[in-house]
């Protein structure tokens, strides 16, 4: 099951209390103060894990608490620091403070760590408070509480290319052919009910990632169909690849509808580089294919590609062009 948004509670460990204790030594008033300090509380740490692709685990556990520090003891023995708790999340997880609605951090890199909640400081033992005028202090500090938050975790898949199209435009078939992703494929709308992420092995020692999201229909921004709930997963993509069914009655109109729905979700989406590919060429004839190759889409940033994921027509040509854009974007 793909889960891309959860709400959890985190609490760092409380600091241990300082101790009130005295040595038993001759000629030292009341033995002298010997209370140790309390240990600091453990932190709550977030760490990205490249092997995770969903927030599903947080459906089963929603509260996380680090270990508290141990209290100080006699003979100047300090308490042990509480153990940190490390929470692993997928790369691309956005962390939001639900109390203030502010974004705390965007965990968008592999092996990234972030101290989300700091443990409380341990209290000082009475040995720290001796003075010439008060050589036998009979008090110590209490440990401080750790930080606690209610946070929202929002996953946005990070991919080089995001696939955009109406239901049954052939996105699932396309990603299954060019990558190892195995999405559900069938001849009815909304076959894809959750995003798929595929790694494309391009020629020797090269690769890039493609994200396929559920199909968009006109009015999606108003909640029709599956709405725009998954479009967050192409917000981070570098390039948008639009797949338009070759059997459509008006290809430019289809493209315009998709652009409009993307803009309604986030204006920044339509500023990304846009490739248009006419899909399902295997169900058409040679004359229409030649005509489609010459078609210019208003609003697109490239030539028009005509492809068939079934026969492989035009797929390598499209991947070559996509790779060139990815390389130029990196440079």
* Average pLDDT of span 25-41: 82
63 forms beta bridges with: 9
Please report which confidence band the pLDDT of residue 1 belongs to, taking 50, 70 and 90 as the band edges. low
Task: Give residue-wise pLDDT tens across range 76-99.
Answer: 999 999 999 999 999 999 999 999
pLDDT at 279 (0 to 100): 95
Confidence (pLDDT) at 127: 92
Return the SS3 of 163: strand
Q: Which long-range contacts (CB under 8 A, 24 or more apart) does 27-33 make?
A: 29/135, 29/136, 30/136, 32/130, 32/135, 32/136, 33/125, 33/126, 33/127, 33/129, 33/130, 33/135, 33/136, 33/137
Please determine, for residue 202, whether its predicted confidence score (pLDDT) is greater than 80: yes
High-pLDDT (> 70) share of the chain, %: 87
What confidence score (pLDDT) does residue 225 get? 46
Q: Which residue has the higher pLDDT, 181 or 7?
A: 7
pTM of the prediction?
0.74
- Over the stretch 178-196, which tens digit does the pLDDT of each residue have? 886 564 444 544 444 466 7
Rounded (10°) angle between helices 315-330 and 171-178: 80
pLDDT exceeds cutoff 70 at 59:
yes
| Percent of the chain whose predicted confidence (pLDDT) is above 90 | 56
Helix or strand or coil: residue 206?
A: strand
Q: Where are the beta strands (DSSP E) in the chain?
A: 5-11, 44-49, 63-65, 85-90, 93-97, 102-107, 113-117, 148-155, 161-164, 196-202, 206-212, 239-245, 273-279, 304-306
In whole numbers, what is the pLDDT of the chain averaged over residues?
87
Domains identified in the chain and CATH numbers: 5-155 (2.70.210.12), 161-330 (3.40.50.300)
Q: What is the pLDDT of residues 46-56, one digit of tens each?
A: 999 988 888 98
* Segment 112-124 mean pLDDT: 97
Nearest to 300 by CA among 259, 257, 250, 248: 259
Q: Which of the pair, 226 or 235, is modelled with greater confidence?
A: 235
Distance CA 239, CA 2 (A): 23
Beta bridge partners of 152: 7, 96
Question: How many angstroms separate the CA atoms of 123 and 16, rounded?
Answer: 6
User: Greater confidence, 24 or 73?
Assistant: 73
Read off the pLDDT of residues 269-293 as tens digits, 9 standing for 90 and up: 889 999 999 999 999 999 999 999 9
The per-residue pLDDT for 316 is 94
Predicted confidence band of residue 158 (pLDDT cuts 50, 70, 90): confident
Residue whose structure tokens are 């209610």: 150
């Amino acid at each position: 099951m793909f889960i891309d948004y959860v709400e959890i509670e985190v609490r760092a460990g409380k600091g241990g209390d300082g101790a009130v204790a005295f040595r038993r030594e001759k000629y030292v008033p009341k033995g002298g103060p010997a209370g140790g300090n309390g240990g600091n509380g453990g932190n709550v740490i977030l760490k990205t894990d490249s092997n995770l692709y969903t927030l599903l685990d947080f459906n089963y556990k929603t509260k996380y608490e680090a270990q508290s520090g141990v209290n100080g003891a006699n003979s100047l023995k300090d308490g042990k620091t509480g153990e940190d708790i490390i929470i692993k999340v997928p790369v691309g997880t956005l962390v939001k403070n639900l109390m203030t609605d502010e974004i705390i951090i965007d965990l968008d890199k592999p092996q990234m760590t972030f101290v989300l909640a700091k443990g409380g400081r341990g209290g000082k033992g009475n040995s720290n408070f001796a003075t010439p005028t008060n050589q036998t202090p009979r008090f110590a500090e209490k440990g401080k509480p750790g930080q606690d938050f209610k946070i929202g975790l929002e996953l946005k898949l990070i991919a080089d290319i995001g696939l955009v199209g109406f239901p049954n435009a052939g996105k699932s078939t396309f990603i299954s052919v060019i990558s190892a992703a195995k999405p559900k494929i069938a001849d009815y709308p909304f076959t894809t009910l959750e995003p798929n992420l595929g790694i494309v092995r391009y020629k020797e020692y090269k690769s890039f990632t493609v994200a396929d999201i559920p199909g968009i229909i006109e009015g999606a921004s108003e909640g029709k169909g599956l709405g725009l709930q998954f479009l967050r997963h192409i917000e981070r993509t570098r390039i948008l690849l639009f797949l338009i069914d070759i059997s459509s009655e008006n290809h430019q109109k289809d493209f315009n509808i998709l652009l409009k729905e993307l803009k309604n979700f986030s204006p920044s989406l339509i500023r990304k580089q846009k490739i248009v590919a006419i899909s399902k060429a295997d169900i058409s004839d040679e004359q229409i294919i030649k005509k489609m190759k010459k078609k210019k889409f208003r609003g697109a940033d490239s030539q028009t590609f005509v492809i068939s994921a079934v026969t492989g027509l035009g797929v390598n040509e499209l991947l070559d062009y996509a790779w060139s854009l990815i390389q130029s974007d990196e440079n």
